[in-house]
Amino acid sequence: MLIIGIAGGTGSGKTTVVNQIVKHLPTDEVCVLSQDSYYKATDNLSYEERTKINFDHPRAIDFELLVKHLQHLKKGKTIEQPIYSFVTHNRTKDTLITRPRKVVIVEGILIFNNEELRSLFDIKIFVHADTDERLIRRVRRDISERGRDIDEVLNRYQNTLKPMHLQFIEPTKNFADLIIPNDKHNTVAIDIVRTVINERL
């Protein structure tokens, strides 16, 4: 099993990179674990309290469960990934059955922050994008997909996203084996990743 960690700031284009890698692999050979699925359950909090959670701080992530699930997959066991709702800011009652595959991709903004999780990655990739570009993507996504208004998105960006990025995400670039500038024409980096995957497989 080859485990690939793909990190980068919010709106950096991690999902695009993941999709570019996945589309060239047989569907029965790859599975994806998203850090977003592993936000901690907040059943004990009211909706108003949940909206105040700093989702860009490592404390918001259930790293223990994510590490356990990855270890289970390595042992050939099937897991049930949590499903998280950004509308309610909480886990849903549903889970996603995920079976072990030859290639497991873990993606998320904070996945290089946890040493135990980081040690499980065979390849660590950081997707880099210009700050303005990331903000534009975040605004579009939060308004269209997550029901936020523009003031809420910009306030969260200024008060939470930007400082957390500088403190917890940007520094983890140093752990990366490969840094991919997020440019849709940057096929060379993706080709390198595919070559490494094919060699390992």
CA dist 137 → 31, 56, 91, 129, 164 (Å): 25, 16, 24, 11, 17
Residue 182: per-residue pLDDT: 72
User: Is the C-alpha dihedral spanning 147, 164, 80, 123 positive or negative?
Assistant: positive
The pTM for the full model equals 0.88
201 domain-assigned: no
Residue 103: per-residue pLDDT: 94
Residue 184: per-residue pLDDT: 61
How far is Cα 196 from Cα 201, in angstroms, rounded to an integer?
9
Q: Cα torsion at 129, 62, 57, 99 (round to 10°)?
A: 10
Which long-range contacts link 92-99 to residues 24+ away (Cβ below 8 Å)? 96/37, 98/31, 98/33, 98/69, 98/73, 99/31
Instruction: Quickly count helices (H) and strands (E) in the chain.
Output: 8, 7
Residue 120: per-residue pLDDT: 98
Residue 3: per-residue pLDDT: 96
Residue 185: per-residue pLDDT: 62
200 domain-assigned: no
The CATH number of residue 53's host domain is 3.40.50.300
178 domain-assigned: yes
State the Rg of the chain over Cα.
17
H or E, element range at 2:
strand 2-8
159 domain-assigned: yes
35 domain-assigned: yes
Token code pair at residue 72: 């289970």
166 domain-assigned: yes
Q: Name the residue range of residue 50's domain.
A: 2-195
- Give the DSSP letter string of 125-150: EEEE--HHHHHHHHHHHHHHHS---H
* Domain count along the chain: 1
Provide block-wise average pLDDT over 10 residues at a time, the chain (201 residues): 93 85 87 94 89 89 97 97 89 94 95 97 90 74 74 77 89 94 74 86 77
Residue 11: per-residue pLDDT: 76
CA nearest 122: which of 176, 79, 75? Answer: 176
**Encoded amino acid at 157, one letter:** Y
Residue 139: per-residue pLDDT: 75
